Chains A and B, each alone.
Chain A
Amino acid sequence: MSEWLQQAIARADSIQDGFEDQRASSLALLKDIQWPTRKTEAWKYTPLRAVERSTAIFKEESPELEPVAVEGLEFLELTFVDGQLVSLPEELPEGLTIEMQESSLFATIKPERHVFGLVNDVLAADVAVVTVAEGVAIEQLLRINNLLSNGAQGHIRVVVDIKAGASLKVVENAEGQGASLTTAYTEYQIGAEANLEHYRFALQAGDNVAIGGSHFKLLEKASLNSSIIGFGSNLQRIDTDIIHAGEKADAKLNAIYLLDGTELFDLHANVEHAVPNCTTEENVRGIAGDSSRAVFNGRIHIHRDAQKTLAELNNRNLLMSNKAEINTKPELEIYADDVRCAHGATIAEIDRKALYYLQTRGVSRSQAQLMLSFGFINELIDQMPTAELAEWVRPIIRDRFAQMEVK
């Protein structure tokens, strides 16, 4: 077992609050766990050195940090700094509540197999529980900010319960400075005929280590539209689980990653079709430059009873350099016979001839790069339901890509 994990366990032993039961069981699991190594399938391409060597500390006092502004949008802000909840919206729309209290959903949607999810179970100091009352549509976006100051360690946890027929839009926004370390897990239950529009932005490139997940349980006729957008960093790992637990649920997941330098980004997406008549559409697209490494594992598990499932998984990658690496693995496990499934993964290289051709006409290299290869990323940005978020993130992604060198 790693020293880092031992310290985490020791700290957990000293924390007391209202989550005794679930935490106790997670803690017991953790004490028994195998620290992941290269032989652990889920961590095969993502070494944990960055965690083992992290010097990030639990700070007694944190600086004041503000989340990034997004033009045209006023969020309901739920802000954590260095793992501590520092602000809640002053006024909440009718039907929306945010409480720091026990939730029976805690640690029931996020699967136990995520090691750092267990760490988060025992270390997240403030667990926020967001509830949308039955039939209520919340128009204003709720933004969960996970802000970390330089060198800080913080663990945040949010549980979201969207009751039947309700709808909610959530943005998970992580901003880490310097050599910080964080785990951030959110669990969502989307009730019958309820609706979630979800975003997870992990745009904090650099020295930081960020591990976390967004986990969704969909009840009957629930619908989920999720966009995950990440840059790499010292270690950036996101696990997402989509669990179809009620018939006729519909999930759409679009993910984009964009890596440069020596960054590492790892997305593990797991979809469980436990019941019949559900649909999943998953588009994952990424660009890796310099000597970065992207890892994508997309598993779709169709259980024996899940007849009439419709599931599609598509992963497209672009390599900008001979030294960049992309490890992609779509996994379909199908135990039902009447289903429609498709999956595919491609890795293309930047078309150097076409770049040169465009440049000979006076087009700058960066613009040529955008013309040739930004389209497949842009398509997913275009699909983001809240246009203001698309317009905010598009130039951030475009500029990062335009500055990537062809090597």
Chain B
Amino acid sequence: MSNENTLLSIKDLHASVEEKNILKGLNLDIKPGEVHAIMGPNGAGKSTTGYVLSGRDGYEVDSGSVTLDGKDLLEMEVEERACAGLFLAFQYPVEIPGVSNLEFLKVAVDAQRQARGEEALTSAEFLKMAKEACKQVNLPVSFLKRGVNEGFSGGEKKRNEIMQMILLKPKLCILDETDSGLDIDAMQVVANGVNSQRDSERSFIVVTHYQRLLDYIKPDFVHVLADGKIVKSGDASLAKELEEQGYSWLQTEPTEDELED
């Protein structure tokens, strides 16, 4: 139920890509400070959800509504959504040769601070923050000088995403398979990075295929997204169940079963 105390509210969201319906009635309410894990088979629409929420070109909303902090998210430009506090850590971060990570981050932080009416940071202040954030995700500071994600390994890209999250201090973070491609130590680093940002205000949607990440980032809720909608919700124990059973039950069980909370 959406009330003042809801950070993100998705209501009966239908969305399509290239005329193909992908989201088919998605509902999700997230309160400040909550961590929701979304699991589900390949092609279910998990990444699509992140793209639709962030406003990617080509992802058409056919019906339904999404509010962030009570504001209509779907009306906003991509960058306005970011400034409103939405952050998407990409499943496949984009390489941008020719634009340095540091320049990019400074411009992004400046833009968001300006949009929120906050004072601009000096270059020195910003550099200090950026170095701090690098350290937190175990990326050498030299990565600040490199082109955005340019030639980064898969794991380095994921850590770079979390580094950005730490710098931008969003209200709602969507982590799309941030654990995939990470070695065990890196997963620990990423989880620590995320946990360090958890507080009573900031909320997370953690998209993952593996229960292991959820050992480190303890979710309040776990949802199963299949064929464009949430078909099952539960607490952290649901992730364990899925790990054991897989998704074969999806075909046999009716899809609109128990939606807890």
Residues in B with CB closer than 8 Å to A363 are 79, 104, 107-108, 111
Whether B108 and A362, one on each chain, are in contact in the complex, defined by CB atoms closer than 8 angstroms, is yes
Q: Does B93 contact A (CB under 8 A)?
A: yes
Closest residue of chain A to B170 (Cβ to Cβ) is A362
Closest residue of chain B to A406 (Cβ to Cβ) is B57
Q: State how many angstroms separate the Cβ of B237 from the closest Cβ of chain A.
A: 33
Cα separation A368 to B99 with both chains bound (whole Å): 10
Contact among A359, A372, A375 with B79 in the assembled complex (CB-CB below 8 Å) = A359
Whether A360 and B96, one on each chain, are in contact in the complex, defined by CB atoms closer than 8 angstroms, is no
Q: Does A361 contact B (CB under 8 A)?
A: yes
Whether A356 and B111, one on each chain, are in contact in the complex, defined by CB atoms closer than 8 angstroms, is no
User: Which of B78, B108, B111 neighbours the largest number of chain A CB atoms within 10 Å of its CB?
Assistant: B78
The bracket for how many chain B residues form the interface is: 20 to 34
Contact among A352, A354, A358, A365 with B108 in the assembled complex (CB-CB below 8 Å) = A358
Residues in A with CB closer than 8 Å to B104 are 358, 361, 363, 371
Residues in B with CB closer than 8 Å to A362 are 79, 82-83, 108-109, 111-112, 115, 168
Whether A356 and B57, one on each chain, are in contact in the complex, defined by CB atoms closer than 8 angstroms, is yes
Residues in B with CB closer than 8 Å to A371 are 99, 103-104, 107
Cα separation A357 to B111 with both chains bound (whole Å): 14
The answer to whether A367 and B107 touch (CB under 8 A), given A360-B88, A362-B112, A362-B168, is yes
Q: Does A353 contact B (CB under 8 A)?
A: yes
Q: Does A2 contact B (CB under 8 A)?
A: no
Please count how many residues in chain A sit with their CB below 8 Å of the partner chain's CB atoms: 19
Cα separation A56 to B79 with both chains bound (whole Å): 45
The answer to whether A357 and B82 touch (CB under 8 A), given A362-B108, A363-B111, A364-B111, is no
Q: Does B124 contact A (CB under 8 A)?
A: no
Residues in A with CB closer than 8 Å to B111 are 361-364, 367
Cα separation A367 to B83 with both chains bound (whole Å): 15
Q: Within residues 392 to 407 of chain A, which ones have a CB less than 8 A from any CB in chain B?
A: none
Residues in A with CB closer than 8 Å to B83 are 362
Cα separation A95 to B148 with both chains bound (whole Å): 54
Q: Within residues 285 to 324 of chain A, which ones have a CB less than 8 A from any CB in chain B?
A: none
Cα separation A250 to B74 with both chains bound (whole Å): 57
The answer to whether A359 and B99 touch (CB under 8 A), given A371-B104, A371-B107, is no
Whether A356 and B56, one on each chain, are in contact in the complex, defined by CB atoms closer than 8 angstroms, is yes
Interface string of B94-116 (1 = CB under 8 A from A): 10101100011101110110010
User: Which of A359, A362, A365, A372 neighbours the largest number of chain B CB atoms within 10 Å of its CB?
Assistant: A362
Interface string of B74-90 (1 = CB under 8 A from A): 00011101110001101
Q: State how many angstroms separate the Cβ of B207 from the closest Cβ of chain A.
A: 15
Q: State how many angstroms separate the Cβ of A102 from the closest Cβ of chain B.
A: 53
Cα separation A89 to B79 with both chains bound (whole Å): 51
Contact among B57, B82, B98 with A361 in the assembled complex (CB-CB below 8 Å) = B82
Whether B77 and A357, one on each chain, are in contact in the complex, defined by CB atoms closer than 8 angstroms, is no
Interface string of A46-81 (1 = CB under 8 A from B): 000000000000000000000000000000000000
Q: Within residues 243 to 260 of chain B, which ones have a CB less than 8 A from any CB in chain A?
A: none
The answer to whether A360 and B115 touch (CB under 8 A), given A365-B79, A371-B104, is no
Q: Within residues 341 to 399 of chain A, which ones have a CB less than 8 A from any CB in chain B?
A: 351-354, 356-365, 367-368, 371-372, 375
Q: Does B54 contact A (CB under 8 A)?
A: yes
Cα separation A181 to B109 with both chains bound (whole Å): 48
Cα separation A353 to B148 with both chains bound (whole Å): 13
The answer to whether A360 and B54 touch (CB under 8 A), given A354-B94, A367-B107, A371-B99, is yes
Cα separation A356 to B78 with both chains bound (whole Å): 8
Q: State how many angstroms separate the Cβ of B72 from the closest Cβ of chain A.
A: 18
Contact among B93, B107, B115 with A357 in the assembled complex (CB-CB below 8 Å) = B93
Closest residue of chain A to B167 (Cβ to Cβ) is A361
Whether A359 and B107, one on each chain, are in contact in the complex, defined by CB atoms closer than 8 angstroms, is no
Q: Does B9 contact A (CB under 8 A)?
A: no
The answer to whether A359 and B82 touch (CB under 8 A), given A352-B57, A367-B107, A367-B111, is yes
Q: Does B164 contact A (CB under 8 A)?
A: yes
Whether B164 and A361, one on each chain, are in contact in the complex, defined by CB atoms closer than 8 angstroms, is yes
Residues in B with CB closer than 8 Å to A365 are 77-79
Cα separation A368 to B107 with both chains bound (whole Å): 9
Closest residue of chain A to B114 (Cβ to Cβ) is A362
Closest residue of chain B to A353 (Cβ to Cβ) is B94
Whether A357 and B96, one on each chain, are in contact in the complex, defined by CB atoms closer than 8 angstroms, is yes
Q: State how many angstroms separate the Cβ of B165 from the closest Cβ of chain A.
A: 10
Cα separation A364 to B99 with both chains bound (whole Å): 15
The answer to whether A372 and B57 touch (CB under 8 A), given A361-B104, A361-B108, A365-B79, is no
Q: State how many angstroms separate the Cβ of B133 from the closest Cβ of chain A.
A: 13
Whether A359 and B77, one on each chain, are in contact in the complex, defined by CB atoms closer than 8 angstroms, is yes
User: Which of B83, B105, B107, B115 neighbours the largest number of chain A CB atoms within 10 Å of its CB?
Assistant: B107
Q: Within residues 252 to 309 of chain A, which ones have a CB less than 8 A from any CB in chain B?
A: none
Interface string of B38-66 (1 = CB under 8 A from A): 00000000000000001111000000000
Residues in A with CB closer than 8 Å to B82 are 359-362
Interface string of B135-148 (1 = CB under 8 A from A): 00000000000001
Contact among A352, A359, A368, A375 with B98 in the assembled complex (CB-CB below 8 Å) = A375
Q: State how many angstroms separate the Cβ of A352 from the closest Cβ of chain B.
A: 7
Residues in A with CB closer than 8 Å to B105 are 361
Closest residue of chain A to B111 (Cβ to Cβ) is A362
Q: Please name 13 further chain A to chain B contacts, defined as beta carbons within 8 Å, in addition to the given A363-B104, A365-B79, sorted by A numbering.
A: A356-B57, A357-B90, A357-B96, A358-B96, A359-B79, A360-B54, A361-B104, A362-B82, A362-B112, A363-B79, A364-B111, A365-B78, A372-B99
Please list the 7 inter-chain residue pairs (A to B) with the smallest Cβ-Cβ separation, ordered nearest first. A362-B82, A359-B78, A361-B108, A357-B94, A362-B112, A362-B111, A359-B79
Which residue numbers of B lie inside 8 Å of A, CB to CB?
A: 54-57, 77-79, 81-83, 87-88, 90, 93-94, 96, 98-99, 103-105, 107-109, 111-112, 115, 148, 164, 168
Which residue numbers of A lie inside 8 Å of B, CB to CB?
A: 351-354, 356-365, 367-368, 371-372, 375
15 contacts between A and B (CB under 8 A): A352-B57, A357-B93, A359-B55, A359-B82, A360-B82, A362-B82, A362-B108, A362-B109, A362-B112, A362-B168, A363-B104, A363-B108, A365-B79, A371-B104, A372-B96
